[in-house]
Amino acid sequence: MPRNNAGPLALLASVSAVVLLVLWWSTSSTSALVVYCAHDAVYSDEILEEFERQTGIQVEPRFDTEATKSLGLVQLIQRERAHPQCDVIWNNELLGTLALQAEGLLEPYQGPGWERIPPKFRDPQGNWVGIGARLRVWIVNHRQMTASESDIAQLLELEPSRIAMAQPMFGTTLTHYCVLAREWGLPRLQEWHADLRLRDLREVPGNGLVKDLVAAGTCDAGWTDTDDTFVAKDAGFPVDMLPIRVSRQTIAIPNTVAIIRGTKHRQEAEQLVDFLTSKEIELRLAKSTARQIPLGPTEAGELPDDVRQLATWASESVELGDLLPIRGQVLDWLRQEYAP
């Protein structure tokens, strides 16, 4: 009987198909610009898609969960240091980016976007650059109190149980606490924090819950960010905002954009950084429902009315670029404070 070659030929065809599939996947994966993005996908995804349309550069964004997004992506880059998988990080805060810089995981780049952003919101060597900031604010239910510094001071003194705050180990509340520790000294912050907790300060997992408690009138006021406050205002809740000030300065926390050391797509990464740090993208973020605050110069009439005042407040912000040393001290203390 003639030998049947169908089996070996079929096996060869199958192996060839697998090899081609692996080669295709490898090529498509490595040819794309990988972006780890902690900024909300509802805003960032369409911006990254616009970059693809304008440049023809394929972008593969990676988002993380709402609870861990900034911290999770920073830790992922740290774990991947020997074999970087990310080309650009678009972070929604600064502290994690500073940690990456301290570990030598960022590549400096001083492009046109870096040049247009004020020195307060960029690294001098170009390791990162800030865009579209959020302000730390008091969110106040105006049916229950006025958004004035005197009324808030009275509430802090007499009824902290009517105030909501996110637990300060993560996100923008951690940045806020680092600013307080730098300005006041850690012992004073620890004493202040202990006193508020002893008098039943309402602590919740995140800024969104702070916004919900104040919007519903369960609490009179709370610490949150401008983007969460606008969510409540747009939904028709009776809330106002007042910038939180430390030593008469506000706290503006920018998004940060940085190139990861070891990227195989340096030219494309620079193009994306230029795109994200452009005036056009900052204005786009300002006109989104988050009303993120442009940090670079804008012309009269370009900003929405409800962002114009925020931009003035943001220009009065404290410096944030030197917070990394105090961050370690604050985190060590908070881990003990909230240990199970």
* DSSP secondary structure string for all residues of 118-158: -GGGB-TTSS-EEEEEEEEEEEEETTTS---HHHHHHHHHH
- Band of pLDDT at residue 235, cut at 50, 70 and 90: very high
Which runs of consecutive H residues, i.e. helices, occur in the chain? Answer: 6-31, 41-55, 69-79, 95-102, 112-116, 149-158, 171-184, 186-198, 207-216, 226-234, 266-276, 279-286, 305-314, 324-337
33-133+254-311 and 134-251+326-337: same fold?
Answer: yes
pLDDT at 11: 44
pLDDT at residue number 31: 87
134-251+326-337 is classed CATH 3.20.20.10: no
Tens-digit pLDDT profile for residues 134-184: 999 999 999 999 999 999 999 999 999 999 999 999 889 999 999 999 999
Per residue in 286-302, pLDDT (tens digit) is: 999 999 999 999 998 99
198, pLDDT greater than 90 = yes
SS3 34: strand
Identify the CATH assignment for 33-133+254-311 out of 3.30.413.10, 3.40.50.720, 3.40.190.10, 3.40.50.300.
Answer: 3.40.190.10
- pLDDT above 90 covers a percentage of the chain that reads 85
End-to-end C-alpha distance for the chain, whole angstroms: 76
Domain boundaries, the chain: 33-133+254-311, 134-251+326-337
Q: How far apart are CA 155 and CA 258, in angstroms?
A: 40
Residue 70 confidence class, pLDDT cut points 50, 70, 90 = confident
**Mean pLDDT for the stretch of residues 264-281:** 98
- Check if the beta carbon of residue 181 is closer than 8 Å to that of residue 326: yes
Q: What is the pLDDT of residues 4-43, one digit of tens each?
A: 444 544 444 444 444 333 333 443 446 899 999 999 898 9
Which two three-digit tokens encode residue 34?
């990988």
pLDDT at residue 72, as a whole number: 87
- Give residues with Cβ within 8 angstroms of 320, minimum separation 6: 94, 175, 179, 251, 253, 254
Which secondary structure element, helix H or strand E, spans residue 298, and what is its range?
none
Q: pLDDT category, 256, cuts 50, 70, 90?
A: very high
- H or E segment to which residue 299 belongs: none
Note the pLDDT of residue 112. Answer: 98
What is the rounded average pLDDT for all residues in the chain?
91
Q: How far is CA 182 from the centre of its chain?
A: 21
Considering only the C-alpha atoms of the chain, give the largest distance between any 2 of them, rounded to a whole number of Å.
Answer: 100
Taking residues 43-65, report their average pLDDT: 94
What is the rounded CA–CA span in Å between residue 261 and residue 237?
A: 45
Q: What is the pTM of this model?
A: 0.88
Q: Is the pLDDT of residue 233 over 70?
A: yes
Output the 3-class SS for 64-82.
CCCCCHHHHHHHHHHHCCC
Q: 266-276 vs 41-55: helix axis angle to the nearest 10?
A: 120
| Mean pLDDT across 117-122 | 96
45 is written with which tokens? 């995804």
pLDDT recorded at residue 214: 98
Q: How confident is the model at residue 52 (pLDDT cuts 50, 70, 90)?
A: very high
Please determine, for residue 69, whether its predicted confidence score (pLDDT) is greater than 90: no
What are the pLDDT digits (tens) for 75-88?
A: 999 999 999 999 99
